[in-house]
Amino acid sequence: MKHEIPVEELGVRGPLMADPIAACVHCGFCLPSCPTYVTMGEEMDSPRGRIFLIKEVLEGKLEVELAQPYLDNCLGCQACETACPSGVRYGELITEFRGRVEPRRRRPVAERARRELALRTLPHGKRFRAAARAGAVARKLRAAVPRTVRPMVDLLPERLPPARPLPCRFAAQGERRARVALLAGCVQQQLDPEIGWAAGRVLARNGVEVIVPAGQGCCGSLAMHSGEAEGARRLARRNLAAFPEDVDAVITTAAGCGSGMKEYGALFLGEPEEAQAGALAGRTRDVADFLYALGLAEPPPALACPRRVAYQDACHLAHAQKVTAPPRRLLSAIEGLELLEPAEAGLCCGSAGIYSLERPEVAAELGERKARNLLATGAAILASGNIGCLTQLQSHLARLGHPIPALHTVQVLDRAYSRTL
């Protein structure tokens, strides 16, 4: 497919956009996989529609302001990549395009303030805790809260669990089979610190020494996928300095974080840190993917009472990282656990970083749809691999009157090992 995009004018990063556009043959296989096309039914709200819009903008045939509403509707879930027979790297395209457009974009004051508040609060633990306390007060005075901020207030939890920082090391039990570094995460450490602890315990039980490097911080994926490329690089540089090279893997427990760190090579393309960033990206593994490849040293003991667990694919695990079988096989190793699959398993739940703050109506529609599909399985427990998905689904399950427990895959394993599932 011939294209007229002036790649030479786009610089060293140009192929990140030009190559996916050239690869797309507009076959339409992506349409039924796209959450916005499924819910909105508009061609321009589909991946191939957005690829056409981006191409027109880059060729100077369309003003970016006319394309922007449709591009903003994209959740960046990358389900289209799983469906695409041509291997179009759509996630790479939308991230790069947003990164180029955002610095020159003129947003309304209220919209810009909400966005800044989210991006300057979520990656920082102390700020997030302060925001949660303020949100508890604001929730009681909801009528007085500005409309642009209400989605943020609604999504904040009633209360946060006590802070529980991870130790600097989990010693391997028995013969050491591997040594890894663990990303603690930012939002996850505030919303559910037990996920990190469960990961450390499960890995250690299976002969893995786990170190938690000091000095690490937010992975930068929230900023990166929102078009704030320079802000993402500032955050990522901290991790480039913090994570050692002498480990078998850098382990992530949040799908969005793992996906973001695996994109460090693209993020730093043409920058002095390109080689170092690419190396760290290559060492990054999701906890379920790493543990399954290593193999369980011993399976968890059989459950005293059978449990029905529905597994929810996190988009940035299933579609961006292509990890679908490992978490299912790890859960299936628990004797007495019946693993259930919801309808529309590949459809996004609507969380998608700060998308649920910027497009709350779309996010809510997708969240309720996913929650209803999960409830239809009859499961007593929900398992997934991303804190954003777990938080979104817990909220919608509660609104539907069925607040079933929502646990990370490693939390299910951890509880099975300790006989508390």
CA angle, residues 293, 295, 297, in degrees to nearest 5: 155
In a domain, residue 163? The reply is no
User: Looking at residues 7-33, what average pLDDT do you find?
Assistant: 88
* Cα–Cα distance for residue pair 14/147, rounded to 1 Å: 38
In a domain, residue 343? The reply is yes
pLDDT band at 151 (very low <50, low <70, confident <90, very high): low
pLDDT beyond 70 at 419:
yes
Counting the structural domains of the chain, the total is 4
User: Looking at residues 323-351, what average pLDDT do you find?
Assistant: 96
Q: In the prediction, which pLDDT does 2 show?
A: 42
Residue 373: name the closest of 91, 41, 35 by CA: 35
Q: In the prediction, which pLDDT does 111 show?
A: 83
pLDDT over 90 percentage in the chain: 77
Q: In the prediction, which pLDDT does 112 show?
A: 85
For residues 277 and 311, state if they share a domain: no
pLDDT band at 3 (very low <50, low <70, confident <90, very high): very low
For residues 272 and 182, state if they share a domain: yes
Q: In the prediction, which pLDDT does 25 show?
A: 95
pLDDT tens digits for 245-295? 999 999 999 999 999 999 999 999 999 999 999 999 999 999 999 999 999
Q: In the prediction, which pLDDT does 96 show?
A: 94
For residues 401 and 305, state if they share a domain: yes
**The CATH number of the domain where 353 resides is what?**
3.40.50.10700
For residues 306 and 195, state if they share a domain: no
Q: In the prediction, which pLDDT does 114 show?
A: 82
Provide the token pair at 34: 């796209």
pLDDT tens digits for 114-127? 888 888 888 888 88
- pTM of the entire predicted model: 0.92
149 contacts 360 by C-beta, under 8 angstroms: no
- Domain-ending residue, one of 251, 277, 293: 293
pLDDT beyond 60 at 5:
no
For residues 319 and 363, state if they share a domain: yes
For residues 375 and 398, state if they share a domain: yes
In a domain, residue 390? The reply is yes
- Domain-ending residue, one of 238, 270, 293: 293
For residues 227 and 312, state if they share a domain: no
In a domain, residue 73? The reply is yes
For residues 282 and 224, state if they share a domain: yes
* Cα–Cα distance for residue pair 82/88, rounded to 1 Å: 9
Q: In the prediction, which pLDDT does 1 show?
A: 39
SS (H, E, C) 333-372: CCCCEEEECCCCCCCCCCCCCCHHHHCHHHHHHHHHHHHH
For residues 244 and 313, state if they share a domain: no
In a domain, residue 201? The reply is yes
Plot region of 34 (φ>0 → left; ψ -120 to 50 → alpha; else → beta) = beta
In a domain, residue 184? The reply is yes
Q: Which domain holds residue 141?
A: 109-155
In a domain, residue 160? The reply is no
388 contacts 353 by C-beta, under 8 angstroms: yes
pLDDT band at 109 (very low <50, low <70, confident <90, very high): confident
pLDDT beyond 80 at 243:
yes
For residues 324 and 382, state if they share a domain: yes
In a domain, residue 191? The reply is yes
**The CATH number of the domain where 93 resides is what?**
1.10.1060.10
For residues 179 and 285, state if they share a domain: yes
User: Looking at residues 383-405, what average pLDDT do you find?
Assistant: 93
For residues 124 and 98, state if they share a domain: no
